[in-house]
Structure 1
Amino acid sequence: MVDTGHKMVRAVHGGLDLAELRRLGLDPRAVLDFSSSINPLGAPPGVMNAIADVNIAAYPDSDCLELREALGGSLNLEPDRILVGNGSTELIHLLATAFLSKGDGAVIFGPAFGEYLAACAAQGVEPVELVANEADDFRWDIAEACQSIRELRPGMVFLCNPNNPTGLYLDEDKVRRIAAAASASGVLVLDEAYVSFVDGAWDSRPLLEISNVVLLRSMTKDYALTGLRLGYMLSSPEVIAGVKARQYSWSVNAAAQAAGVMCLGRQDHLEQGREAVRIGKAYLVDALVSMGLKCRVGAANFLLASVGDATTIRLRLLKEHGICVRDCASFGLPGYIRIGVRKMDDCRRLVAALDKALSDG
């Protein structure tokens, strides 16, 4: 085995851990998963039919042409400005491979998705984290952040908008200021994995006029294609070509591509999911605040709740109630859990279980 000298970092994610469930004697089918934040309505009707029509004896299209054309039509962009990946995670790592090398700098707006750090570490890069101020509702001082970026001159800046796990959603002016600071020396990766669930989201596509800006989107979350893995990035043709050159052939399987094309014809399903999030989130916030919990209510399809010892509460909910929430210790927030919004019946069950789990402590 070749020692690259790079420190490898494995990111922590939401979702059910089958090995853990087996140790606890739990049936995965009986566990309610609030740790993943996806469309609460599940995948659109017809997805399974689209998958069933796939010829699994044939190689998938390595260029994802039909899906890129469908995305281009939906977004009013040329297909050469779109790259499809096996989830946003693959694209994050490909971007780091394309634009970072040992000795480069990188900046992460934190707390943040763990794959940004993992992607940097794989390239031998130790990023600087600009940590949000918890006392100021997890906000950043944008002027100070831009000054830091100009001084550090990083090869890559990672910004998730809305942020995971706080849900903070920055307006266009703030993001443009960050983009201007970042593009002077490197690439701004604007991760919009949850933007489809934001009410009144601003259109970020004009940012692509700025050199070295990348937008990341997640069809996995928009259409609950979690088991298929499907994401895409938007950027200049030059950036797309540079990243594509590093992508393994057939990384996006045929079933995922077929599902993606089908889902793009069901924008109504996404709109209905956004409405379900609005209703479920309002209920959860009211219920949790009534319990005396401090909640960070952001713009995304999840909320952040302060529960004291998040690891203990998560395990108690899982073992005693068959409910999984996201322990935010890996985000550097050991007192918080992240709760994805699900259908109302599920939300009611969570509230009752959380009330009991907290009182039992």
Structure 2
Amino acid sequence: MVDICRGCVSNLKKYVPGRTEEEVKKEFGLDKVVKLASNENPLGPSPKAVEAIKDYASKVYVYPDGSYRKLKEKLSEELDISFENITLGCGSDEVIKLIGETFLDPGDEIVTAWPTFPIYKHIAKLMDANVVEIPLKSFKHDLNKMADAITDKTKIVFICSPNNPTGTIVTQDEIEGFLNKVPDDVLVVFDEAYVEYVESDDFADALKLFKDNKWNNKKIVTLRTFSKIHGLAGLRIGYGITSPEIIEPIEKVREPFNVNSVAHEAAIASLEDKEHIEKSRKENFKEKKYLQKTLKTLGFEAEDTEANFLNVKSPFCDMELFDELMKKGIIMRPGSLLGLPGYFRLTVGKEKDNRYLCDKIKEILAERKGNDANAMNN
């Protein structure tokens, strides 16, 4: 490590992205590879968004409108909030980073669950702040213990709902009890990247909490993204919703032109295509149920989820399954890399890809059974 590097940076762990289809094809000499590892929308972006991307391609020599007024006005209309309540980022990841850079001093604390989205921890450590991790309880946030963990050093609490990698949510009753315990000077950040996939009536919608006068004294931030159901992960665009008092210092930290013009136009067009969003929701629900049912018959246990991925318990080592599936052209995310050894995270894909996955799992199980039989005979 370079000697002049900040000490907290020296201790950071580098993010390791999942394998790409091209890498796996080349390594194993495969013609077909199905990626079910990164929770993308298998239907892709809205056709309207694609057209917007094409239409704007010739204009990319011009800097974006740094205020991003058009998208903010569209979001304001869609979500029934004020223009001044919105900040944009290069993915919601960047909004998380901006929050950390704006509010965390060395020695401050954040409280978060574990396992959950690792960027919260990463950003805290980048700012030389301390991380208090509260283990999940039955794969869900243990909000009682998270509230008990808050001290006078706590600046931010991060709540991922639906949670990545488990797909679980926090309920309205749970979050109201939690907020009643949180001091008014602590920022409560709700990461709702998968909110459009939620079906439960008990889901604690952070945007509704933010708009509820009952919680006016609380510092609530809602994070959402165009990477998941909108299918714009490659364009990197997300947003945060909170009070102008919190937006103002974040805007001082945000770099100008942090969202590119193509992403801006595609996001506006995507919001206009309600049909594509509903189609994506329905397809996810149908295929999620298929995978849960089929995997159960094969000896796997898929937990209930409110997202577009499954947290699945494997009957054998998740890293072994990861390797064996990859050799057959399936990429998933082993739980050992996510803090859940013995499990794996599986994106709900297209109908044909989900059936291809199940066929390959059947092949692996048959091969393992044959290998076990041969070992016994020998």
Structure 1 length-normalised TM:
0.92
Give the secondary-structure state (helix, strand or coil) at the position aligned to 1:46: helix
Kept in 2, the 8 Å contact 1:280–1:344? The answer is yes
Match of 1:34 in 2: 36
Q: Distance in 2 between matches of 1:348 and 1:289?
A: 14
Kept in 2, the 8 Å contact 1:88–1:216? The answer is yes
**1:162-241 counterparts in 2 under 5 A?**
162-199=162-199, 200=201, 201-208=203-210, 209-241=216-248
**1:345-360 counterparts in 2 under 5 A?**
345-360=352-367
Kept in 1, the 8 Å contact 2:292–2:301? The answer is no
Larger Rg: 2
Match of 2:46 in 1: 44
Q: Structure 1 residues 41 and 157, CA, compared in 2 at 3 Å: closer, same or farther?
A: same
Q: Structure 1 residues 239 and 25, CA, compared in 2 at 3 Å: closer, same or farther?
A: farther
Q: Distance in 2 between matches of 1:142 and 1:256?
A: 35
Q: CA deviation at 1:14?
A: 4.7
Q: CA deviation at 1:207?
A: 2.0
**1:233-312 counterparts in 2 under 5 A?**
233-307=240-314, 308-312=316-320
Q: CA deviation at 1:11?
A: 3.3
Q: Structure 1 residues 75 and 305, CA, compared in 2 at 3 Å: closer, same or farther?
A: same
Structure 2 length-normalised TM:
0.88
Q: Structure 1 residues 295 and 152, CA, compared in 2 at 3 Å: closer, same or farther?
A: farther
Q: Distance in 2 between matches of 1:231 and 1:89?
A: 8
Shifted more, 188-197 versus 291-300: the winner is: 291-300
Kept in 2, the 8 Å contact 1:325–1:338? The answer is yes
Shifted more, 241-250 versus 7-16: the winner is: 7-16
Q: CA deviation at 1:47?
A: 1.9
Q: Distance in 2 between matches of 1:183 and 1:360?
A: 56
Question: Match for 2:324 among 316, 323, 348?
Answer: 316
Match of 1:53 in 2: 55
Cα RMSD over matched residues?
A: 2.0
Give the secondary-structure state (helix, strand or coil) at the position aligned to 1:144: helix
Quick check: 1:62 aligned with 2:62?
no
Please list the CA deviations of residues 161-203 of structure 1 after superposition, one character each: whole Å capped at 9, or x if unmatched. 0111111111112123333434434211100001110114554
Q: Distance in 1 between matches of 2:26 and 2:255?
A: 33
Structure 1 unaligned residues grouped into runs of 5+: none
Q: Distance in 1 between matches of 2:21 and 2:242?
A: 34
Question: Identity of aligned pairs, percent?
Answer: 31
Shifted more, 284-293 versus 209-218: the winner is: 209-218
Structure 2 unaligned residues grouped into runs of 5+: 211-215, 369-378
Give the secondary-structure state (helix, strand or coil) at the position aligned to 2:253: coil
Q: CA deviation at 1:46?
A: 2.3
Q: Structure 1 residues 324 and 254, CA, compared in 2 at 3 Å: closer, same or farther?
A: same
